[in-house]
Amino acid sequence: MVLVIATTGLVYELAIAALASYVLGDSVTQFSLVIGAYLSAMGLGAWCSRFISRRLEVAFIDVELATALVGGLSAPLLFVAHAMSGAFQLLLFLTVGWVGVLVGLELPLLIRILERRLELKELIARALSWDYAGALVGSVGFSMVLVPKLGLIESTLACGSLNALVALGATSVLPATTPELARGLRRARLRAGLVLAALVIAWLRAGDLTAAAESSALGGAVTLSQQTHYQRLVLTEQPNGDFQLYLNGNLQFSSTDEHRYHEALVHPVMASVPHPRRVLIGGGGDGLALREILRWPEVEHVSLVDLDPAMTELARHHPRLAEQNRHALEDARVEVVNADAMVWFAQPREPYDVIVLDFPDPTNFSLGKLYSTRFYAQASALLAPRGALAVQATSPYFARASFWCIVSTLREVGFTTRPYRVFVPSFGDWGYVLAARGSLPIPTALPPGPSRYLDPLTLAALFELPTDVAELPTEVNHLNNQALVTYYQEEWLRWN
């Protein structure tokens, strides 16, 4: 019993923190705040347990049922709240507080019930041993099983059902020492059955709830929603046939205008190398940058390194996405590697003529490391002597300091840089950095055949930066300070 309530209590904590980091960004801050508030609320719950003195067995069961409902419904309700309410953070910490207080009540009440049967030192030893074991089970189960297999919403509902089962079992296991207590346990058994039934129904409808909330929050009809081991993938479609990919609620592309983004990302760097035979892509699991790279006839080999195998499988097999990337991942010249780029780039390999870094924006420290001096030094070591590198570098207009921080970081490790920008209607003004270890003239070549956006005049114009996005002095993004993440969060918060 202690093992179950400890496991579910930790899962609620981790699920709420993960959801907060998904929708608010900055995983370190969100996890820190949620865990701190949750532990404080648990302490408050433990202190409040001293005021419960009558019918401890029934009180424990009712606390367990309340935990089942509030904890089990925490993720789905917060998910809906983010889509439909402007007070998400207030609701987030109210939920954290309620769940924490209820979880804090559980163990003290159970210990007081069981102390009638066991010697105190034996009881404390057993209870705390199982409590700590539950923390291990919860943490491992959450990251390795629950989120990858079920998703956040189904995970909290599953744990709520476990709490309800504990309560239901307790109505039979706990002794009815008086007629009044016996009646109380019978009524508690009925409540436990109702709560369990409600959570099972919620479980069965969780997919509909998720789709409705995501459709409301993201716009368009949700055609695919998938929780992977690393992120949440959502595809939406508009009535006009346009479709979008979102990762953790952040737009990655819209089929209407993604050609602007990917042509601008790929073709300047490909044109900067005399013979771009070997190409390396960091990120870009949707295959759209790869599509543009394969338009260059000199290309003999492309390594695509993306962390999430679910993303590359989606790009390979989803009909709309595979059509959009022209089945690029099926090309015989392409090697798909599902690995952490920071680890993979650190290994000695045959040099690449071109490296394209198409990672998501540095919204948190896990992504910010891929824009650090350490990572750019690793990329430099993989680059052929006359090679060139391109980095997607967020918006020079909406996140001006972030953009120039990326430029400064590349310069810090010895790159010559040429910042440039393009207007993408779905994103606004968007920035990139072209980099090489030697001289770097403005590129003029384009791949054979027509492009949807770029022509020689447009290509040259990309490198003309207006005054309102001109260079700013910024810190360099080292791995140990992650200055870029701070810039990014401060700048986008103003616009959001």
Active site residues: 358
Instruction: State the Cα–Cα distance between residues 430 and 350, nearest whole angstrom.
Output: 32
Strand order in the sheet with 428-436: 334-337, 301-305, 278-283, 352-358, 383-392, 428-436, 416-424
CA count, 13 A, side-chain hemisphere, 9: 32
Instruction: State the Cα–Cα distance between residues 446 and 295, nearest whole angstrom.
Output: 10
Q: Tell me if residue 169 falls in helix, strand or coil.
A: helix
Cβ-contact 367, 361 below 8 angstroms: yes
Name the E strands within 425-489: 428-436
Instruction: State the Cα–Cα distance between residues 389 and 490, nearest whole angstrom.
Output: 27
Angle at 80 between CA 78 and CA 81, to 5 degrees: 60
Instruction: State the Cα–Cα distance between residues 194 and 196, nearest whole angstrom.
Output: 5
Instruction: State the Cα–Cα distance between residues 99 and 149, nearest whole angstrom.
Output: 24
Which amino acid, 255?
A: S
DSSP state of 48: H
Q: Which residues pair with 340 in a beta bridge?
A: none
Maximal CA-CA distance, the chain: 90
Cβ-contact 206, 197 below 8 angstroms: no
Beta-carbon contacts of 172 under 8 Å, excluding residues fewer than 6 positions away, are 189
Q: How far apart are the first and last CA of the chain?
A: 44
Q: Tell me if residue 244 falls in helix, strand or coil.
A: strand
Q: Which residues pair with 224 in a beta bridge?
A: 235
Cβ-contact 231, 247 below 8 angstroms: yes
Residue from 234, 233, 84, 79 nearest 152 by CA: 79
Contacts 24+ apart (CB under 8 A), 291-295: 291/262, 291/324, 291/325, 291/326, 291/328, 292/262, 292/263, 292/265, 292/266, 292/267, 292/447, 293/266, 293/354, 293/356, 294/326, 294/328, 294/331, 294/333, 294/334, 295/447, 295/448, 295/449
